[in-house]
Structure 1
Amino acid sequence: MLRVITLNLNGIRSATGKGFLDWLGAQNADVVCVQELKAQAGDLTDAMRHPDGYSGHFHHAEKKGYSGVGLYTRRAPDRVVEGLGITDIDAEGRFLQLDFGALSIVSLYLPSGSSSDERQQVKFAFMERFLPHLASLRASGRELIVCGDWNIAHKEIDLKNWKSNQKNSGFLPEERAWFTRVLDEQQWVDVYRRLYPEAGGEGYTWWSNRGQAWAKNVGWRIDYQLATPGVAATARSAAVYKEQRFSDHAPLTVEYGWAF
């Protein structure tokens, strides 16, 4: 059995203060992927680096208090791949891959384009250059699970107010078409959607801080575990945890019947 969790922390220091590490220690997870660390290496405490028997691996952004991804694992990886080898993308700390035997697990943080037109163009540029990297991963012959905040709600079922968001970043036609290419052309599997094809609001993973989005469950499903078909076929269950809030995102946990 392989238990994998992904969560955008919206700041590892903030999430830790809200009980994230205490919660993590009770999850019995094998691998935990986190995004948006908003911290440099020197900002991390020993507890953040090695919570409850885990070993942490991180790809920090160069800019302080910004972006960054990480993975926690109880098993030592065979290989660590930090970044994509693309200077401007790697400066923002958005990709980290750990290899375990024939399986690789990735923590990924796609840019958000919601703050400005300029950042939306950065997001589009990332998507254009990341697509061939995803293709090369698929062609590698390895099994992979790519976890993270993709900052795209794929279909109407994946957000509450889809009609009013069709011109907003995260639900733009170009973004959704790109995500469809990832799934259909490259044959990555959206594991949660494969398990629960009709799930709506129970699958949301992010809520705006505006209004009463959380209280009313006016959310978006933008955090995914995308997997290659072999390991995806072993997925047995998935759940979004909402009993506590560590972030404006919620953790997504998937149980795979994969020997790890």
Structure 2
Amino acid sequence: MGRVWQSEAACGSSSLPGVLTVSTVNVNGLRAAAKKGFVEWLAATRADVVACQEVRASPDSLPDQLAGPQGWYAAHADCSVKGRNGVSVYSRLELEAVRVGFGEPEFADSGRYLEVDLPGLVVASLYLPSGDVGTARQDEKERFMKAFLPYLAELRGKAESQGCEVLVVGDWNIAHAEIDLKNWKGNRKNSGFLPHEREWLGRVFDEAGYVDVQRRLDPEGPGPYTWWSYRGKAFDNDSGWRIDLICATPGIAEKCTSVVVERAESYDKRWSDHAPVTATFDWSAACA
């Protein structure tokens, strides 16, 4: 089992609010993001829960304002390889339980998956591996996908039996459809848009039973994109990918009232190559 670190002090609530707001963002290095604006964003956000990916720092190496910010409970799962991966969850609500990994030994210490329990809700922060065709990284990605799909189905079934809902949020590193990336024709043979990867993500929806809440509200697209390469004019031209997803079990997905991609106003105001994705749920109606 991988290592998990949880903050002990926060001023939060032990029950879910009537309207629940959840954000996810790949920070592309938490300490670097903090120097560029993440700390200010976290202080200003109205989100009740914030999931972060690609933290790339051990919890004990983070300053207090990142390890356990005032007003937040925090849980972190780092990678056994220093400076790689890492996922976190910040919550204004008290965490009932924290779990790291999804039972697959190869990825137990990889810093790619972290679950927290809130009253009636499981929130998971996911950083699915990226890859390059024909490399060991792609092989790792596909092993992760193979093991993760049945776990997702199991997680949903277990939650349903307990009267709970599930949100699996984060960087999925796969664009599902042509409307999910600007240059889809040029990426048909690249990792992240390979036919079998797209089919796998479709199985997350069709077989495991999760709902992409962005596409439920906006089925037509294109975008909105959530990641833009730092190279060239990708951000300025909005030549991006929609790979940061909030996937929900059907009960809470039906109560999602909005999803917003918090795209920076300009290139120089970015603190990551990804933008936060923020969803709002009418949780009181979900529990009625």
Instruction: Please say if 1:78 is aligned against 2:96.
Output: yes
Matches for 1:87-236 after TM superposition, within 5 Å: 87-114=105-132, 117-140=135-158, 141=160, 142-201=164-223, 203-236=224-257
1:21–1:51 Cα contact (<8 Å) kept = no
Q: TM-score, normalised by structure 1?
A: 0.96
Letter in 2 for 1:172: L
Q: Could you say if the C-alpha distance between residues 192 and 83 of structure 1 is closer, same or farther in structure 2, counting changes exceeding 3 Å?
A: same
1:6–1:251 Cα contact (<8 Å) kept = yes
Letter in 2 for 1:253: T
Deviation at 1:79, TM superposition (A): 1.0
Once residues 198 and 52 of structure 1 are traced to their aligned partners in structure 2, the CA distance between those partners, rounded to angstroms, is 40
Deviation at 1:76, TM superposition (A): 1.1
Once residues 33 and 249 of structure 1 are traced to their aligned partners in structure 2, the CA distance between those partners, rounded to angstroms, is 13
1:25–1:52 Cα contact (<8 Å) kept = no
Instruction: Please say if 1:15 is aligned against 2:36.
Output: no
Letter in 2 for 1:82: V
Deviation at 1:116, TM superposition (A): 6.0
Once residues 114 and 222 of structure 1 are traced to their aligned partners in structure 2, the CA distance between those partners, rounded to angstroms, is 16
2:26–2:54 Cα contact (<8 Å) kept = yes
Letter in 2 for 1:231: I
Q: Could you say if the C-alpha distance between residues 116 and 32 of structure 1 is closer, same or farther in structure 2, counting changes exceeding 3 Å?
A: farther
Percent identical pairs in the alignment equals 49
Once residues 65 and 130 of structure 2 are traced to their aligned partners in structure 1, the CA distance between those partners, rounded to angstroms, is 29
Letter in 2 for 1:257: D
Once residues 50 and 115 of structure 1 are traced to their aligned partners in structure 2, the CA distance between those partners, rounded to angstroms, is 38
Once residues 75 and 133 of structure 2 are traced to their aligned partners in structure 1, the CA distance between those partners, rounded to angstroms, is 29
Q: What SS is found at the alignment partner of 1:219?
A: coil
1:36–1:109 Cα contact (<8 Å) kept = yes
- 1:111-152 deviation line (CA, Å, top 9, x unaligned): 000386110010000000001100101111131000000000
Once residues 54 and 6 of structure 1 are traced to their aligned partners in structure 2, the CA distance between those partners, rounded to angstroms, is 15
Letter in 2 for 1:47: Q
Root-mean-square deviation over aligned CA pairs: 1.3
1:154–1:180 Cα contact (<8 Å) kept = yes
Once residues 228 and 134 of structure 2 are traced to their aligned partners in structure 1, the CA distance between those partners, rounded to angstroms, is 19
Deviation at 1:48, TM superposition (A): 0.1
Once residues 41 and 25 of structure 1 are traced to their aligned partners in structure 2, the CA distance between those partners, rounded to angstroms, is 19
Q: What SS is found at the alignment partner of 2:283?
A: coil
Structure 1: give runs of 5+ residues left out of the alignment.
none
Bigger Cα displacement from structure 2, 116-125 vs 246-255: 116-125
Structure 2: give runs of 5+ residues left out of the alignment.
1-18
Divergent runs of 4+, >4 A:
none
Once residues 40 and 23 of structure 2 are traced to their aligned partners in structure 1, the CA distance between those partners, rounded to angstroms, is 15
Letter in 1 for 2:105: T
Letter in 1 for 2:275: A
Aligned residue-pair number: 259
Instruction: Please say if 1:256 is aligned against 2:274.
Output: no
Partner of 2:6: none
2:74–2:90 Cα contact (<8 Å) kept = yes
2:150–2:208 Cα contact (<8 Å) kept = no
